[in-house]
């Protein structure tokens, strides 16, 4: 095992004989002339509108709701899906789940097995951030998001996020995220382009994705 490691490293070093000895990684110039999006503040009207438009473009339904409406909108959406069992991860904001019938609410205690998750009708979560230009949600397992399987196995996902979590660009989002925990970037419902390169929604991940932006 270590023999393989030593040999590969030795081969790599021998292959790089043309790199002068004093050169350090930072000596190889990298021009970051591309846009970082940091000039557009998170959560402003323009950024949120772009996010709504771009995510909708991928087949998710997205709408903005006021803080006061949020709880009823969450309940209304889940009811419209006919969801009898709804997974609500730990530390999901209480006012947002207050209008759900108590009997419908399921926690991820135990935790649930993969089969249990498969039997759940829907999951409702928060998010860590969102990216306007690409129409992307980012989940980091933080409060109200649950573990990764919780937003994967159930067939319907309702995500509630605050307008100030919506940043303009990919660089801005990455700078806000902690890579040490597992992250999932979600841009629309599960899809495939594997047949004649035509994009169709609905393969293994949630086939329905709905997003509420609270502002």
Partner 1 sequence: MSSAFLGMPPFPQAARRALADTQLRRNLAGATRTIRDKRAEVVRELPDWEELREAGRALKERTLRHLDHYLLQLEERVTAAGGQVHWARDAAEANRIVTRLVQETGEHEVVKVKSMTTQEIGLNEALGSAGITAYETDLAELIVQLGEDLPSHILVPAIHRNRAEIRDLFRREMAEAGEVGDEPAELAEAARRHLRRKFLRAKVGISGANFLVAETGTAVVVESEGNGRMCLTLPETLISVVGIEKVVPTWQDLEVYLQLLPRSSTGERMNPYTSTWTGIEDGDGPRSFHLVLLDAGRSDTLADPIGRQALNCIRCSACLNVCPVYERTGGHAYGSVYPGPIGAVLSPQLRGTGGAVDRSLPFASTLCGACYEVCPVKIDIPEVLVHLRARVVEETGERRRTPSPEALAMRAARWVFSSPARLAAAQRVAALGGRAVGSRGRVGRLPGPLAGWTDARDAPAPARESFRQWWKRTHR
Binding residues with partner 1: total (CB under 8 A): 76
Q: In the complex with partner 1, which residue's Cβ is closer, 102 or 178?
A: 178
Q: In the complex with partner 1, which residue's Cβ is closer, 47 or 70?
A: 47
> What's the min distance (Å) between Cβ of 1 and partner 1?
7
Q: Which stretch binds partner 1 (CB under 8 A): 10-18, 76-84, 122-130, 160-168?
A: 10-18
Q: In the complex with partner 1, which residue's Cβ is closer, 56 or 79?
A: 56
Cα–Cα distance, 55 to 176 (Å, whole number): 20
Cα–Cα distance, 169 to 109 (Å, whole number): 36
Q: Which stretch binds partner 1 (CB under 8 A): 40-48, 75-83, 111-119, 159-167?
A: 111-119
Restricted to residues 19-58, the positions that interact with partner 1 (CB under 8 A) are 19, 23-25, 28-36, 54, 58
The yes or no reply on residue 197 touching partner 1 (CB under 8 A) is: yes
Neighbours of 150 (CB within 10 A): 22
The CA-atom distances, in angstroms, between 21 and each of 8, 13, 16, 17, 188 are 19, 11, 10, 9, 48
Restricted to residues 136-165, the positions that interact with partner 1 (CB under 8 A) are 136, 141, 147-149, 152-153
Among 100, 123, 133, 211, which residue interacts with partner 1 (rule: CB under 8 A)? 133
Q: In the complex with partner 1, which residue's Cβ is closer, 63 or 90?
A: 90
Restricted to residues 55-94, the positions that interact with partner 1 (CB under 8 A) are 58
Cα–Cα distance, 120 to 155 (Å, whole number): 8
CB 102 within 8 A of CB 137: no
Per-residue H/E/C for 28-76: CCCCCCCCCCCCCCCCCHHHHHHHHHHHHHCCCEEEEECCCCHHHHHHH
CB 141 within 8 A of CB 108: no
> What's the min distance (Å) between Cβ of 5 and partner 1?
4
């Amino acid at each position: 095992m270590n023999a393989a490691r030593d040999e590969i490293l030795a081969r790599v070093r021998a292959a790089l004989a043309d790199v002068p000895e004093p050169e350090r990684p930072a000596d190889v110039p990298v021009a970051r002339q591309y846009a970082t999006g940091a000039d557009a503040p998170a959560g402003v009207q323009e950024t949120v509108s772009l996010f709504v438009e771009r995510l909708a473009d991928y087949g998710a339904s997205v709408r903005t709701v006021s803080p006061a409406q949020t709880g009823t909108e969450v309940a209304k959406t889940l009811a419209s899906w006919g969801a009898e069992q709804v997974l609500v991860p730990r530390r999901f904001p209480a006012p947002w789940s207050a209008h759900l019938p108590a009997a419908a609410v399921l926690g991820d205690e135990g935790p649930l097995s993969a089969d249990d998750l498969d039997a759940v009708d829907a999951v409702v979560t928060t998010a860590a951030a969102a990216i306007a230009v690409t129409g992307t949600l980012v989940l980091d397992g933080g409060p109200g998001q649950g573990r990764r399987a919780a937003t994967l196995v159930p067939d319907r996902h309702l995500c509630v996020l605050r307008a100030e979590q919506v940043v303009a660009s990919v660089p801005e989002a990455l700078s806000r995220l902690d890579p040490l925990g597992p992250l999932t970037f979600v841009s629309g419902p599960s899809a495939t382009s594997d047949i004649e390169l035509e994009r169709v929604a609905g393969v293994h991940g949630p086939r329905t994705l709905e997003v509420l932006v609270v502002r």
